[in-house]
């Protein structure tokens, strides 16, 4: 089969300007209400063991998790993102590896591997997403967990014949998901970041994926389902949930 049109463009975070602007662009996700509950859950799963973050970025969760005393190893594809992380206080507590979460392995005895903020969808083919699950499994000690936080595709919100769903309309940011390729499950998130009279735009492509497909990927990787919540407060996941936190366990 021919490679889908949107599958191979470089990840936007490889651009040093995007990396430098990352923390401000997603400032809401750095808020204590957001970071606190996720770090609680991940610290609980890590216990005295090692936590590995796939796509660690600028350390939004890795830094507070390390501050809690958890040994954290972060992997990321983008040197500019890692370089932003290294500038921050406490960065020396985290082991960092420049690499690809579909293939780079840094240990085989982790208590928890986690991949948050919808980043499984940065892998824009099913084969890459499956490789990511297999790589997560290869990192885990028996009983270890793989945790994913991901949004549920919003296709059901589309009026008949439409392809675009707004996901954020606020004074500083407008965001619209455009479902451009329903065969290969590709959407484009159009962002308009507004700062006074200046607007910065970005339109990265993603491979959206339903929770049920992730369960099959976990099964292929030898992992067993343990939990699915609507959020990091362990709220029950329902048909109306817009995102999920899913946990699979290495037997
Ligand atoms: C939305 S950011 C998330 C960063 C961080 N986990 C957070 O929650 O703030 C996505 C990150 O995924 C990284 N990334 C994308 N594809 C990757 C891959 N194949 N392997 C490792 N990192 C990848 C990008 O460089 C970027 O740092």
**Which atom of ligand 1 has the smallest separation from the CA of 19?**
27
Query: Whole-angstrom Cα distance, residue 245 to residue 251?
Result: 20
pLDDT at 32: 92
Between the CA of 123 and the centroid of ligand 1 the distance, in Å, is: 10
**pLDDT in the model for residue 4:** 63
Pocket test for ligand 1, best of 7, 9, 10, 11 (most atoms within 8 A of CB): 11
Verify whether ligand 1 is closer than 6 Å to residue 207 (CB atom): no
- Ligand 1, closest atom to CA 115? 6
Q: Nearest C-alpha to atom 5 of ligand 1 is from which residue? A: 57
Residue 1's pLDDT is 55
Helix/strand/coil for 18: helix
Residue 3 is predicted with a pLDDT of 60
Q: Tell whether pTM > 0.75.
A: yes
Which domains can be identified in the chain, with CATH numbers? 12-153+209-249 (3.40.50.150)
The candidate with the shortest Cα–Cα distance to 87, out of 22, 5, 38, 8, is 22
pLDDT of residue 9: 80
Q: Report whether residue 125 contacts ligand 1, using a CB cutoff of 6 Å.
A: no
Which pLDDT tens digits describe the chain residue by residue (251 residues)?
A: 556 677 778 888 999 999 999 998 888 899 999 999 999 999 999 999 999 999 999 999 999 999 999 999 999 999 999 999 999 999 999 999 999 999 999 999 999 999 999 999 999 999 999 999 999 999 999 999 999 999 999 888 898 999 999 989 999 899 999 999 999 999 999 999 998 999 989 899 999 999 999 999 999 999 999 999 999 999 999 999 999 999 999 99
Q: Is 56 in the pocket of ligand 1 (CB under 6 A)?
A: yes
Which ranges of the chain does DSSP label H, i.e. alpha helix?
A: 16-25, 32-46, 62-67, 79-86, 126-139, 211-220
Candidate of 79, 105, 119, 121 to mutate for ligand 1, largest count of ligand atoms within 8 Å of Cβ: 119
d(CA 26, CA 43): 23
- Measured CA to CA, the distance from residue 124 to residue 13 in angstroms comes to 15
> How many angstroms separate the CA atoms of 52 and 65, rounded?
11
Q: How far is the CA of 55 from the centre of ligand 1 (A)?
A: 4
Atom of ligand 1 lying closest to residue 26 CA: 9
For residue 121 and ligand 1, the question of a CB distance below 6 A is answered with no
- Nearest residue to 206 (alpha-carbon basis) of 227, 174, 175, 170: 175
Does the beta carbon of 144 sit less than 6 angstroms from any atom of ligand 1?
A: no
């Amino acid at each position: 089969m021919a490679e889908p049109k949107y599958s191979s463009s470089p990840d936007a975070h490889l651009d040093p300007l995007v990396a430098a602007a990352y923390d401000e662009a997603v400032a809401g996700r750095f808020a204590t209400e957001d970071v606190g509950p996720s770090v609680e859950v991940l610290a609980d799963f890590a216990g005295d063991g090692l936590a590995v973050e796939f796509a660690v970025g600028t350390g939004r969760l890795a830094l507070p998790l390390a501050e809690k005393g958890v040994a954290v190893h972060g992997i990321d594809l983008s040197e500019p993102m890692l370089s932003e992380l290294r500038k921050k206080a406490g960065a020396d507590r985290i082991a960092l590896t420049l690499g690809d979460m579909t293939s780079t392995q840094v240990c085989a005895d982790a208590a928890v591997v986690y991949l948050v903020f919808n980043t499984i969808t940065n892998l824009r083919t099913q084969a890459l997403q499956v490789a990511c699950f297999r790589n997560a499994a290869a990192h885990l000690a028996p009983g270890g967990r793989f945790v994913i936080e991901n949004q549920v595709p919003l296709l059901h919100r589309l009026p008949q014949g439409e392809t675009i769903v707004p996901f954020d309309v606020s004074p500083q940011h407008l965001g619209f998901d455009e479902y451009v390729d329903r065969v290969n499950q590709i959407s484009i998130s159009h962002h308009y970041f507004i700062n006074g009279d200046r607007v910065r735009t970005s339109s990265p492509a993603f491979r959206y994926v339903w929770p049920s497909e992730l369960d099959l990927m976990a099964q292929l990787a030898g992992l067993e389902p343990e939990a699915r919540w609507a959020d990091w407060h362990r709220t029950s996941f329902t048909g109306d949930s817009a995102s999920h936190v899913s946990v699979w366990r290495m037997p």
